[in-house]
Amino acid sequence: MIRVLIVDDSATARHILREILESDARLKVVGLAADAYIARDMIVELKPDVICLDVEMPRMDGVTFLQKLMLHYPTPVVMVSSLTRNSANTTLDALEAGAIDYVTKPHSHIYDGKEEIKEELIQKVVNASHARVQKKIPMMKVNPHHTSLSETTHKVIVIGASTGGTEALKVVLGGLPSTSPAVLVVQHMPHSFLESFAMRLNQLCVLDVKMARHGEFLQTGTVYIAQGGKHMVLRRSGASYFIEIGLGAKVSGHCPSVDVLFNSVSKVAGSNAIGVILTGMGSDGARGLFHMHEAGAKTIAQNEESCVVYGMPKESVKLGGVDEVLPLPEIAHAIVKMLV
Protein backbone atom coordinates (compact mmCIF):
# COMPACT_ATOMS: atom_id res chain seq x y z
CA MET A 1 0.00 0.00 0.00
CA ILE A 2 1.39 3.38 -1.08
CA ARG A 3 0.55 6.07 1.47
CA VAL A 4 -0.19 9.50 -0.05
CA LEU A 5 -0.56 12.98 1.43
CA ILE A 6 -2.49 15.55 -0.64
CA VAL A 7 -1.57 19.23 -0.20
CA ASP A 8 -3.92 21.69 -1.95
CA ASP A 9 -5.66 24.85 -0.77
CA SER A 10 -8.87 23.86 -2.61
CA ALA A 11 -11.20 21.57 -0.64
CA THR A 12 -12.77 20.48 -3.92
CA ALA A 13 -9.41 19.58 -5.42
CA ARG A 14 -8.42 17.64 -2.29
CA HIS A 15 -11.67 15.66 -2.45
CA ILE A 16 -11.34 14.83 -6.16
CA LEU A 17 -7.67 13.90 -5.92
CA ARG A 18 -8.46 11.60 -3.02
CA GLU A 19 -11.30 10.01 -4.99
CA ILE A 20 -9.01 9.44 -7.99
CA LEU A 21 -6.13 7.98 -5.98
CA GLU A 22 -8.22 5.70 -3.80
CA SER A 23 -9.90 4.22 -6.88
CA ASP A 24 -6.65 2.26 -7.22
CA ALA A 25 -6.15 -0.53 -4.68
CA ARG A 26 -2.42 0.21 -4.43
CA LEU A 27 -2.97 3.72 -3.04
CA LYS A 28 -4.22 5.04 0.30
CA VAL A 29 -4.62 8.74 1.10
CA VAL A 30 -3.45 9.16 4.69
CA GLY A 31 -3.92 12.91 4.97
CA LEU A 32 -5.28 16.13 3.44
CA ALA A 33 -3.59 19.49 4.04
CA ALA A 34 -4.79 22.94 3.00
CA ASP A 35 -1.37 24.61 3.15
CA ALA A 36 2.33 23.99 3.63
CA TYR A 37 2.33 24.58 7.38
CA ILE A 38 -0.38 21.98 8.00
CA ALA A 39 1.42 19.65 5.58
CA ARG A 40 4.71 20.04 7.45
CA ASP A 41 3.22 18.69 10.67
CA MET A 42 1.39 15.89 8.84
CA ILE A 43 4.54 14.74 7.07
CA VAL A 44 6.40 14.33 10.35
CA GLU A 45 3.47 12.50 11.94
CA LEU A 46 2.23 10.36 9.02
CA LYS A 47 5.45 9.75 7.07
CA PRO A 48 3.76 9.45 3.64
CA ASP A 49 5.42 7.56 0.79
CA VAL A 50 4.40 10.21 -1.78
CA ILE A 51 3.11 13.80 -1.57
CA CYS A 52 0.79 15.34 -4.17
CA LEU A 53 1.54 19.06 -3.97
CA ASP A 54 -0.22 22.09 -5.45
CA VAL A 55 1.84 25.09 -6.59
CA GLU A 56 -0.36 28.07 -5.74
CA MET A 57 -1.22 28.06 -2.02
CA PRO A 58 -1.65 30.69 0.72
CA ARG A 59 1.11 31.48 3.24
CA MET A 60 3.78 29.51 1.32
CA ASP A 61 3.77 28.49 -2.36
CA GLY A 62 4.40 24.89 -3.38
CA VAL A 63 7.88 25.40 -4.86
CA THR A 64 9.19 27.19 -1.74
CA PHE A 65 7.74 24.44 0.43
CA LEU A 66 9.29 21.80 -1.83
CA GLN A 67 12.74 23.41 -1.50
CA LYS A 68 12.48 23.29 2.30
CA LEU A 69 11.10 19.75 2.25
CA MET A 70 13.93 18.35 0.13
CA LEU A 71 16.53 19.95 2.35
CA HIS A 72 15.13 18.68 5.66
CA TYR A 73 12.76 15.75 4.96
CA PRO A 74 13.31 14.34 1.43
CA THR A 75 10.10 12.69 0.17
CA PRO A 76 8.89 11.80 -3.34
CA VAL A 77 6.65 14.61 -4.61
CA VAL A 78 4.32 14.79 -7.61
CA MET A 79 3.29 18.37 -8.41
CA VAL A 80 -0.41 18.73 -9.29
CA SER A 81 -1.21 22.23 -10.52
CA SER A 82 -3.37 24.27 -12.87
CA LEU A 83 -2.11 25.24 -16.31
CA THR A 84 -1.20 28.92 -16.27
CA ARG A 85 0.89 31.26 -18.41
CA ASN A 86 3.89 30.68 -16.15
CA SER A 87 3.28 26.96 -15.54
CA ALA A 88 6.21 25.78 -17.69
CA ASN A 89 8.75 27.77 -15.68
CA THR A 90 7.04 26.88 -12.39
CA THR A 91 7.13 23.19 -13.28
CA LEU A 92 10.82 23.41 -14.14
CA ASP A 93 11.42 25.23 -10.83
CA ALA A 94 9.67 22.36 -9.04
CA LEU A 95 11.71 19.69 -10.84
CA GLU A 96 14.85 21.69 -10.03
CA ALA A 97 13.80 21.73 -6.38
CA GLY A 98 13.42 17.94 -6.33
CA ALA A 99 9.91 17.01 -7.52
CA ILE A 100 9.79 13.60 -9.18
CA ASP A 101 7.04 14.44 -11.67
CA TYR A 102 4.06 16.69 -12.37
CA VAL A 103 0.43 16.45 -13.46
CA THR A 104 -1.50 19.38 -14.90
CA LYS A 105 -5.07 19.97 -13.70
CA PRO A 106 -7.11 20.18 -16.92
CA HIS A 107 -9.73 22.74 -15.85
CA SER A 108 -10.47 25.33 -13.21
CA HIS A 109 -13.35 23.02 -12.30
CA ILE A 110 -11.47 19.83 -11.57
CA TYR A 111 -14.72 17.82 -11.50
CA ASP A 112 -15.00 18.34 -15.28
CA GLY A 113 -11.59 16.89 -16.03
CA LYS A 114 -10.95 14.24 -13.42
CA GLU A 115 -11.19 11.40 -15.95
CA GLU A 116 -8.59 13.15 -18.11
CA ILE A 117 -5.94 13.03 -15.39
CA LYS A 118 -6.97 9.84 -13.55
CA GLU A 119 -4.69 7.35 -15.30
CA GLU A 120 -1.74 9.75 -15.47
CA LEU A 121 -2.00 10.79 -11.82
CA ILE A 122 -2.24 7.24 -10.50
CA GLN A 123 0.67 6.03 -12.61
CA LYS A 124 2.92 8.95 -11.68
CA VAL A 125 2.20 8.55 -7.96
CA VAL A 126 3.01 4.83 -8.21
CA ASN A 127 6.19 5.62 -10.13
CA ALA A 128 7.19 8.25 -7.57
CA SER A 129 6.90 5.72 -4.76
CA HIS A 130 9.78 3.81 -6.36
CA ALA A 131 11.95 6.88 -6.94
CA ARG A 132 15.25 7.55 -5.21
CA VAL A 133 15.01 10.84 -3.31
CA GLN A 134 18.05 12.37 -1.67
CA LYS A 135 18.69 15.51 0.32
CA LYS A 136 18.61 18.33 -2.20
CA ILE A 137 21.74 20.43 -2.16
CA PRO A 138 21.74 23.46 -4.51
CA MET A 139 23.67 22.43 -7.62
CA MET A 140 26.73 24.43 -8.55
CA LYS A 141 27.26 25.33 -12.19
CA VAL A 142 29.10 22.50 -13.91
CA ASN A 143 32.48 23.28 -15.44
CA PRO A 144 32.90 21.71 -18.88
CA HIS A 145 35.83 19.41 -19.55
CA HIS A 146 38.26 21.54 -21.54
CA THR A 147 39.72 18.68 -23.56
CA SER A 148 40.78 19.77 -27.02
CA LEU A 149 38.45 18.13 -29.54
CA SER A 150 38.82 18.50 -33.27
CA GLU A 151 35.68 19.89 -34.85
CA THR A 152 34.03 17.11 -36.82
CA THR A 153 30.70 16.46 -38.49
CA HIS A 154 30.90 12.66 -38.66
CA LYS A 155 30.54 12.08 -34.90
CA VAL A 156 27.21 12.42 -33.09
CA ILE A 157 26.07 12.06 -29.45
CA VAL A 158 22.51 10.94 -28.60
CA ILE A 159 20.92 10.99 -25.15
CA GLY A 160 17.63 9.61 -23.85
CA ALA A 161 16.06 10.50 -20.48
CA SER A 162 12.74 10.48 -18.65
CA THR A 163 11.83 10.86 -14.96
CA GLY A 164 14.64 12.81 -13.27
CA GLY A 165 16.20 13.58 -16.63
CA THR A 166 15.76 17.35 -16.56
CA GLU A 167 18.33 17.63 -13.79
CA ALA A 168 20.55 14.81 -15.09
CA LEU A 169 20.81 16.51 -18.50
CA LYS A 170 22.08 19.68 -16.85
CA VAL A 171 24.99 17.73 -15.40
CA VAL A 172 25.88 15.86 -18.59
CA LEU A 173 25.44 18.69 -21.09
CA GLY A 174 27.00 21.19 -18.70
CA GLY A 175 30.15 19.08 -18.64
CA LEU A 176 30.69 18.97 -22.41
CA PRO A 177 33.03 21.45 -24.16
CA SER A 178 31.90 23.86 -26.87
CA THR A 179 33.73 21.80 -29.52
CA SER A 180 31.62 18.69 -28.87
CA PRO A 181 29.92 17.02 -31.83
CA ALA A 182 26.21 17.68 -32.21
CA VAL A 183 24.03 16.22 -29.44
CA LEU A 184 20.48 14.96 -30.01
CA VAL A 185 18.26 14.63 -26.91
CA VAL A 186 14.92 12.97 -26.26
CA GLN A 187 13.51 13.98 -22.86
CA HIS A 188 10.02 12.73 -22.05
CA MET A 189 8.14 15.97 -21.34
CA PRO A 190 5.03 17.75 -22.71
CA HIS A 191 5.72 20.04 -25.65
CA SER A 192 4.51 23.11 -23.73
CA PHE A 193 7.43 22.77 -21.29
CA LEU A 194 10.23 21.91 -23.71
CA GLU A 195 10.92 25.39 -25.12
CA SER A 196 11.45 26.76 -21.60
CA PHE A 197 13.59 23.74 -20.74
CA ALA A 198 15.82 24.29 -23.79
CA MET A 199 16.22 27.97 -22.88
CA ARG A 200 17.31 27.07 -19.33
CA LEU A 201 19.84 24.55 -20.59
CA ASN A 202 21.17 27.11 -23.05
CA GLN A 203 21.88 29.50 -20.16
CA LEU A 204 23.74 26.81 -18.21
CA CYS A 205 25.85 25.21 -20.95
CA VAL A 206 28.67 26.41 -23.19
CA LEU A 207 26.93 24.43 -25.94
CA ASP A 208 24.18 26.08 -27.97
CA VAL A 209 20.90 24.38 -26.89
CA LYS A 210 17.81 24.67 -29.08
CA MET A 211 14.63 22.90 -30.10
CA ALA A 212 15.17 20.56 -33.06
CA ARG A 213 13.63 21.60 -36.38
CA HIS A 214 12.65 19.38 -39.29
CA GLY A 215 15.29 19.30 -42.03
CA GLU A 216 17.95 21.04 -39.92
CA PHE A 217 21.58 20.01 -40.58
CA LEU A 218 23.64 19.23 -37.47
CA GLN A 219 26.25 21.72 -36.32
CA THR A 220 29.21 21.12 -33.98
CA GLY A 221 28.69 22.48 -30.47
CA THR A 222 24.89 22.36 -30.71
CA VAL A 223 22.31 20.40 -28.70
CA TYR A 224 18.97 19.58 -30.37
CA ILE A 225 16.00 18.82 -28.09
CA ALA A 226 13.24 16.68 -29.60
CA GLN A 227 9.83 18.32 -29.94
CA GLY A 228 6.96 17.00 -27.82
CA GLY A 229 4.48 14.69 -29.51
CA LYS A 230 6.71 14.03 -32.56
CA HIS A 231 9.42 11.49 -33.27
CA MET A 232 12.95 12.67 -34.11
CA VAL A 233 15.29 10.62 -36.29
CA LEU A 234 18.75 11.12 -37.74
CA ARG A 235 19.23 11.13 -41.51
CA ARG A 236 22.27 11.60 -43.74
CA SER A 237 22.83 13.57 -46.91
CA GLY A 238 26.29 12.99 -48.34
CA ALA A 239 28.77 13.75 -45.57
CA SER A 240 26.29 15.63 -43.39
CA TYR A 241 23.65 14.60 -40.87
CA PHE A 242 20.22 16.22 -40.67
CA ILE A 243 17.13 15.88 -38.49
CA GLU A 244 13.79 14.51 -39.58
CA ILE A 245 10.76 15.16 -37.39
CA GLY A 246 7.32 13.69 -37.90
CA LEU A 247 4.14 12.43 -36.36
CA GLY A 248 3.75 8.78 -35.46
CA ALA A 249 2.27 6.32 -32.99
CA LYS A 250 3.86 5.94 -29.59
CA VAL A 251 6.84 3.59 -29.51
CA SER A 252 7.84 1.98 -26.22
CA GLY A 253 5.00 4.05 -24.74
CA HIS A 254 6.32 7.42 -25.86
CA CYS A 255 6.32 10.03 -28.62
CA PRO A 256 9.01 11.20 -29.04
CA SER A 257 10.63 7.86 -28.34
CA VAL A 258 14.27 7.30 -27.42
CA ASP A 259 14.12 3.95 -29.23
CA VAL A 260 13.08 5.64 -32.48
CA LEU A 261 16.00 8.09 -32.31
CA PHE A 262 18.56 5.46 -31.25
CA ASN A 263 17.44 2.98 -33.94
CA SER A 264 17.89 5.62 -36.64
CA VAL A 265 21.34 6.51 -35.29
CA SER A 266 22.41 2.84 -35.34
CA LYS A 267 21.66 2.73 -39.08
CA VAL A 268 22.95 6.15 -40.09
CA ALA A 269 25.95 6.83 -37.83
CA GLY A 270 27.01 3.33 -36.69
CA SER A 271 30.38 3.38 -34.93
CA ASN A 272 30.57 7.19 -35.20
CA ALA A 273 27.92 7.58 -32.50
CA ILE A 274 27.87 7.67 -28.71
CA GLY A 275 24.62 6.71 -27.00
CA VAL A 276 23.72 7.64 -23.42
CA ILE A 277 20.69 6.46 -21.44
CA LEU A 278 19.82 8.40 -18.30
CA THR A 279 17.37 8.08 -15.42
CA GLY A 280 13.77 7.23 -16.27
CA MET A 281 10.83 4.91 -15.72
CA GLY A 282 10.21 2.08 -18.18
CA SER A 283 12.35 0.68 -20.98
CA ASP A 284 12.30 3.28 -23.76
CA GLY A 285 15.74 3.43 -25.34
CA ALA A 286 16.96 0.02 -24.21
CA ARG A 287 16.44 -1.75 -27.53
CA GLY A 288 17.67 1.24 -29.50
CA LEU A 289 20.85 1.44 -27.42
CA PHE A 290 21.38 -2.30 -27.99
CA HIS A 291 21.11 -1.76 -31.74
CA MET A 292 23.59 1.12 -31.54
CA HIS A 293 25.98 -1.11 -29.59
CA GLU A 294 25.63 -3.86 -32.22
CA ALA A 295 26.42 -1.29 -34.92
CA GLY A 296 29.69 -0.38 -33.18
CA ALA A 297 28.64 2.73 -31.27
CA LYS A 298 30.00 3.43 -27.79
CA THR A 299 27.27 3.30 -25.13
CA ILE A 300 26.85 4.56 -21.56
CA ALA A 301 24.14 4.03 -18.92
CA GLN A 302 23.68 6.01 -15.72
CA ASN A 303 24.23 3.86 -12.63
CA GLU A 304 21.48 2.92 -10.17
CA GLU A 305 22.81 4.96 -7.25
CA SER A 306 22.65 8.28 -9.11
CA CYS A 307 19.30 7.66 -10.89
CA VAL A 308 16.03 9.09 -9.63
CA VAL A 309 14.39 6.04 -11.26
CA TYR A 310 16.58 3.14 -12.38
CA GLY A 311 14.29 1.91 -15.14
CA MET A 312 15.57 2.77 -18.61
CA PRO A 313 19.27 2.28 -17.70
CA LYS A 314 18.46 -1.01 -15.93
CA GLU A 315 16.66 -2.41 -18.99
CA SER A 316 19.53 -1.27 -21.23
CA VAL A 317 22.07 -3.11 -19.07
CA LYS A 318 19.87 -6.24 -19.01
CA LEU A 319 19.78 -6.33 -22.82
CA GLY A 320 23.57 -6.20 -22.97
CA GLY A 321 23.91 -3.01 -25.01
CA VAL A 322 25.96 -0.95 -22.53
CA ASP A 323 29.74 -0.47 -22.58
CA GLU A 324 29.99 1.55 -19.36
CA VAL A 325 27.71 2.04 -16.34
CA LEU A 326 28.69 5.28 -14.61
CA PRO A 327 27.62 7.72 -11.87
CA LEU A 328 25.99 10.83 -13.32
CA PRO A 329 28.93 13.21 -12.55
CA GLU A 330 31.32 10.98 -14.55
CA ILE A 331 29.31 10.66 -17.76
CA ALA A 332 30.37 13.88 -19.49
CA HIS A 333 34.06 13.08 -18.90
CA ALA A 334 33.54 9.56 -20.28
CA ILE A 335 31.91 10.99 -23.42
CA VAL A 336 34.86 13.33 -23.96
CA LYS A 337 37.34 10.44 -23.54
CA MET A 338 35.42 8.43 -26.15
CA LEU A 339 35.71 11.34 -28.59
CA VAL A 340 39.46 11.92 -28.25
Q: Is residue 149 part of a domain?
A: no
Q: What is the pLDDT of residues 94-130, one digit of tens each?
A: 999 999 999 988 655 555 667 878 999 999 999 999 9
Query: Are residues 72 and 197 part of one domain?
Result: no
Position 190 scores a pLDDT of 86
Query: Are residues 195 and 64 part of one domain?
Result: no
Position 226 scores a pLDDT of 98
Position 140 scores a pLDDT of 47
Query: Are residues 213 and 177 part of one domain?
Result: yes
Verify whether residue 15 is a known catalytic residue.
Answer: no
Range of the domain at 256: 156-339
Catalytic residue, chosen from 129, 162, 180, 283, is: 162
Beta pairing, strands 208-211 & 222-225: parallel
CATH code of the domain containing 122:
3.40.50.2300
CB 161 within 8 A of CB 280: yes
CB 5 within 8 A of CB 65: no
Verify whether residue 188 is a known catalytic residue.
Answer: yes
Catalytic residue, chosen from 8, 93, 259, 284, is: 284
Among residues 96, 112, 27, the alpha carbon closest in space to that of 63 is found at: 96
CATH code of the domain containing 275:
3.40.50.180
Position 196 scores a pLDDT of 92
Q: Is residue 282 part of a domain?
A: yes
Catalytic residue, chosen from 54, 81, 188, 291, is: 188
Torsion over CA: 289, 292, 293, 297 (sign): negative
pLDDT mean for each 10 residues of the chain (340 residues): 96 93 97 96 96 91 93 94 73 92 73 78 95 66 56 84 96 95 96 92 96 97 96 95 96 97 98 97 97 98 96 98 97 95
pTM confidence score: 0.90
Q: Is residue 146 part of a domain?
A: no
Rounded distance between C-alpha atoms, residue 241 and residue 154, angstroms: 8
Query: Are residues 160 and 119 part of one domain?
Result: no
Q: How many domains does the chain have?
A: 2
Query: Are residues 118 and 164 part of one domain?
Result: no
Q: What is the pLDDT of residues 269-297, one digit of tens each?
A: 999 999 999 999 999 999 999 999 999 99
